[in-house]
Structure 1
Amino acid sequence: MANRGLITAIAAVGAAQLLKLPLHYAKTGRWEIRQMFGSGGMPSSHSSGVSALAAYTATKYGIKTPEFAISALFGIIVMYDAMNIRRHAGQIAMQVNDLDVDVEKLAGKHPGIYHTRRRERLKESLGHEPQEVAAGSLLGVLLGLVGALTAPRR
């Protein structure tokens, strides 16, 4: 027997990742396939997955069960991390990348100061803005409900 809750959560992650492509195009006018495979962006696939699991679990087993408590707490932690810790790490990466450019310019103006620029910039799109987490969560709840309501009865 397949784990319908897990399949629903994974499908929600996939749906969010697929949605990133047309939403990125609508925002920038550019198709970038890598949007489907990276972290960050609209909607949050992490939020979608954990919200789908929590909604599935609540619908299938009830909100007073340990299964729902575990999935809800897990979801809260993941969404907090996406909006705070990972987003701030991305902001720091932007500042470090800018600092690398500034030091290179400064070294070019002063003989005797040498600076070797990093080969690769730090990844800046790590976390999510609150609206990206909210959109992912809404998508996840909808897909979690669909997964639970269409599951065969025992």
Structure 2
Amino acid sequence: MDSFYPLVAALLSNFVAQVLKPFVLYMRTQKFDIHQCIACGGFPSSHSSTVTGLTIAIGISEGFDSTFFAITCVFSFIVIYDAINVRYYAGKNIQLTKQLISDLEAMKGLKFSDPIYQEKIKSVLGHKFVEVIGGMILGALVAVILYEIFLLF
């Protein structure tokens, strides 16, 4: 087995997830946005696909009972938890803050002139559960298919 297999599996999982995002968005909304290829959030989760691809590739190449597999599992759980919870709720917090500023301006006639209030901040940072599951499935598929391709050479 090529020693680059886990790295290639992880990077390819990330790449495929990012490339799929504009097409999934198009299927849902009939709007194609190529910028989704570099966006955070969306389906499938590239964070989840990357760490799952790495973990499965390590399991296949080093053994599912190896220390390396255990390490990548723990790493993956942390990244996936972060994608679902921490980053998702940070995005929700940004949405709430934007709405509060807008409401204060409208209701009280306040005008927030400090440039910080005018900054464009992306409010979608994290993932919904289904986006993470999709990323995990994609990462596992990429790792297994890539393993089969590596066996041919």
Q: Tell me the TM-score normalized by structure 1.
A: 0.90
Alpha-carbon RMSD across the aligned residues, in angstroms, is 1.7
CA distance in 1, matches of 2:46, 2:148: 22
Q: How many residues were matched structurally?
A: 149
**C-alpha distance 119-59 of structure 1, shift in aligned 2 (>3 A):** same
What SS does the aligned partner of 1:84 have? helix
| CA offset digits 1:51-85 (Å, max 9, x no partner) | 00111111122111111111111111100000000
Equivalent residue for 1:133? 132
Seq. identity, %: 33
Q: Tell me the TM-score normalized by structure 2.
A: 0.90
Q: Which runs of 5+ in 2 are unaligned?
A: none
Equivalent residue for 1:80? 81
CA distance in 1, matches of 2:150, 2:24: 30
Give 1 or 2 for the bigger CA radius of gyration.
1
Equivalent residue for 1:148? 147
Amino acid at match of 2:141: L
CA distance in 2, matches of 1:70, 1:149: 24
Equivalent residue for 1:91? 92
| CA offset digits 1:26-70 (Å, max 9, x no partner) | 111111111110110000001000000111111122111111111
CA distance in 2, matches of 1:28, 1:87: 21
1:115 counterpart = 2:108: no
Judge conservation of contact 1:48–1:141 (CA < 8 Å) in 2: yes
CA distance in 1, matches of 2:106, 2:129: 35
Q: Which runs of 5+ in 1 are unaligned?
A: none
